[in-house]
C-alpha cells in the first residue's frame, strides 16, 4: 500500500470515531511488515479516562490477531497542526516497533513523518527488565 493510500484509510476511519465529548475524530491506519493493514478510531467514554485513542485501537486489533511487526502508522485528525500521538500511544508503539514510522496528518490532509524514536526518545522498553 502506498503512503497516500494508508493516509486515506486513516482519514476514512474518522467517520467511525465515537467522540461525543471532544468532538475531535481521529482515524488511524497501521501497516504491518507483511503488508496487512489494521485501522482504528477513537472511542470515548463518559468516564473520560476510559477513552481509547485511534492508534491504540488499531494496535490492539493487530496484536489480538497475531500481528506485532509494525512498519508505519498514519494518524488523521482535524487539527490545524499535525495530529501527533499522545504519550500513552507512543509508549504502546514502542513496545512492539521502536523503529516504526509515524505519519501525522492535519485537517488539510498534509502529512509530516516522524521516527517513533524522535517522538519518544529514551523510551522505556523490555530491555530495562
Ligand atoms: N486522540 C486520539 O485518538 N489520538 C491522538 O493522537 C490524539 C488524541 C483522541 C482522544 C480523544 O478521544 C480525542 O482525541 C481528544 O483528545
What pLDDT band is residue 115 in, cutting at 50, 70 and 90? very high
Which ligand 1 atom is the nearest neighbour of the CA of 83?
Answer: 6
Q: Which residue is listed with cell 509494525?
A: 70
Kindly give the distance from the C-alpha atom of residue 24 to the centroid of ligand 1, in angstroms, as a whole number. Answer: 7
Q: Which atom of ligand 1 is nearest to the CA of 17?
A: 12
> Residue of the nearest CA to atom 3 in ligand 1?
53
- The pTM for the full model equals 0.97
What digits encode the pLDDT tens for the residues 12-39? 999 999 999 999 999 999 999 999 999 9
Which residues form the pocket of ligand 1, taking CB atoms under 6 Å from any ligand atom?
19, 22, 24, 26, 42, 44, 51, 53-55, 75, 83, 85-86, 89
Give the number of the atom of ligand 1 that is nearest the alpha carbon of residue 21: 12
Dump pLDDT digits (tens) for 55-75: 999 999 999 999 999 999 999
Which residues are catalytically annotated?
Answer: 55
Amino acid at each position: 500500500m502506498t503512503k497516500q493510500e494508508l493516509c486515506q484509510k486513516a482519514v476514512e476511519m474518522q467517520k467511525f470515531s465515537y467522540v461525543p465529548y471532544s468532538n475531535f475524530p481521529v482515524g488511524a491506519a497501521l501497516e504491518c511488515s507483511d503488508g496487512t493493514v489494521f485501522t482504528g478510531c477513537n472511542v470515548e467514554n463518559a468516564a473520560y479516562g476510559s477513552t481509547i485513542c485511534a492508534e491504540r485501537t488499531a494496535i490492539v486489533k493487530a496484536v489480538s490477531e497475531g500481528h506485532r511487526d509494525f512498519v508505519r502508522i498514519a494518524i488523521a485528525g482535524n487539527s490545524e497542526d499535525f495530529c501527533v500521538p499522545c504519550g500513552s500511544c507512543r509508549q504502546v508503539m514502542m513496545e512492539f516497533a521502536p523503529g516504526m514510522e509515524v505519519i501525522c496528518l492535519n485537517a488539510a490532509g498534509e502529512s509530516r513523518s516522524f521516527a517513533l524514536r524522535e517522538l519518544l526518545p529514551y523510551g522505556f522498553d523490555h530491555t530495562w527488565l
